[in-house]
A and B are shown apart, each in its own frame.
Chain A
Amino acid sequence: MDNLVNKRINEVLKGNQDAFEEIVTLFQHRLYQVCYRMLSNTQEAEDIAQEAFVRAYINIHTFDQKRKFSTWLFRIATNLCIDRIRKKKPDYYLDAEVPGTEGLNMYSQIAAPGELPEEEVERMELQERIQYEIGRLPDRYRTVIILRYIEELPLQEIGDILELPLGTVKTRVHRGREALRKQMGKM
C-alpha cells in the first residue's frame, strides 16, 4: 500500500492533480473517523478532514517518502482538530497546566460545555453514549485514546503522529483510560 501511495505522490509532484484523488479515496474514511471522534460533529468533521487533505496536497513536497504517509496525514488532521477545539473554548486563559500534573489544566476543573444532565445521558443509545464520553475527555487524552482504541494504532505510531516521546504517549493513554473509567463508572 505504501508503494502505491508513493507512486501516486510522485505523480502529484509531477503536477498531476488527479493522482491525488486516489490518495483521498484511500484514506478518507480513516481521516474522517478521527476528525468525527475528536469533534463530535459531522459537519465540522467533514470540513476539517477535507482541509487536512488540502493541506497535505499543498505541502506534499515536504513529505518524506521513507516515512508512513498515514502518520503524516493524521498529524495534519489532529493538529487541525485541536486548533478547532481550542477556538471553540471561551477565550479566557485556562490553559496553564496545574503544577505537578500532566495535561491537567483549569479546563479539567470545570464542566465541559457539552455536559448533560444525568437522566439524559442514561437515555442515550450505546453508540451515542460512547461518543459523548470520548467528547468529555480533555483533548490531550482524547487524541491518544481515539488513535489507540478506535484507530487501533501502536503506541509508537501515536508518538510519531503527535511528535511526542513514547513515555508521554503511555502516560496520556493511562490517564485517558483512568478518566474514561471514572466517567463511565455508572454504566
Chain B
Amino acid sequence: MNTCPEQIVHYMHAYLDGEISRAEERELKEHLDNCTECKEIMNSLSESITLLGSVAQVKAPESFVGGVMARLPKEKSRAGAHRWLRSHPFLAAAAMFFVLMSATLFSSYGNDQQFSVTKQPNLIIDGQTVLVPKGEIVKGDIVVENGELRIEGEVDGNVTVIRGSKYMASTAVVTGESEEIDKLFDWLWYKMKNTAKDIFSSSKEDGQDED
C-alpha cells in the first residue's frame, strides 16, 4: 500500500461517488489489476456499501401518526369553527337559510308601510280608519296594517293590529284574541306563527284530499 500512488484512494472514493473522470477511471482500473492489496480495499469498500443497501426498510409503528397528533399543541378555536361548518354542511346550510330569511323579513318590515285590512262584509273603511259599527257582528278575523281600528260592535274572531292603533268602545266585544303589534320582535313572531299555520293547514288539506 505504501508504494501505491496516493491519488488511488481518492479515485476509489470518486468512483464510489460516481464522480470519476474517464482518464482517472482507466488509471484506477490499471492499478487495481496490478495491486491485489488495493483491489481488496476497493472490494471491501463496495461490499460494505452493498450491505448497507441491503438493509431492511423499517417502518414507523401503527400508532405513530396518532401519537404525533396527540402531541401537537391545541389549535385556535377559529379553525375549529371552520371545520365544524365543513363537517356539518346541513346545519351550516340551515343556519345560512335562517340568516337570509330573517334578513328578508326585516327588510320587508321597513318597506311594508301600506295600509291594508282583511275584508269582511260589514266593515266600514274610511281612509286609514276601519270601523266595526255599533250593533253589527263581524264574523271572522280582522287584521289591520298601518291603520286605525275602532271597534264599537262585536267581532266574532281574532283582532290583530300591526303598526297602528286600536280603539275599543264600551260596547265592543271581541270573542277571539286581541293583539297589537308594533315592535319588530312581535311582528317577526307573528309572521313566523302565520307561516307555520299556513304550512300546517295546507298539509291538513292535502291529507283530506287523499281521503
Contacts and interface: CB of A to CB of B under 8 A. Distances in A.
Interface size class of A (residues with CB under 8 A): 35 or more
Interface size class of B (residues with CB under 8 A): 20 to 34
Given A28-B64, A32-B58, A181 B52 contact: no
A16 B44 contact: no
Contacts of B57: 29, 33
B128 to A, nearest CB: 57
Contacts of A37: 58
Given A32-B58, A33-B57, A131-B55, A177 B69 contact: no
Interface on chain A toward B: helix, strand, loop, or mixed SS? helix
A16 B73 CA distance: 12
Nearest to B79: A15
A127 B44 contact: no
Contacts, number: 106
A180 interface: yes
A131 B51 CA distance: 10
A53 interface: yes
A54 interface: yes
Interface string B54-95: 111111110011011101110110110011000000000000
Contacts of B13: 170, 173-174, 177
Given A150-B55, A177-B48, A184-B51, A49 B60 contact: yes
Given A15-B78, A20-B69, A173-B17, A127 B55 contact: yes
Given A33-B58, A185-B44, 17 more contacts: A15-B76, A15-B82, A16-B83, A17-B75, A17-B79, A20-B72, A28-B64, A29-B60, A32-B59, A32-B64, A33-B59, A54-B71, A130-B51, A149-B49, A150-B55, A173-B17, A177-B45
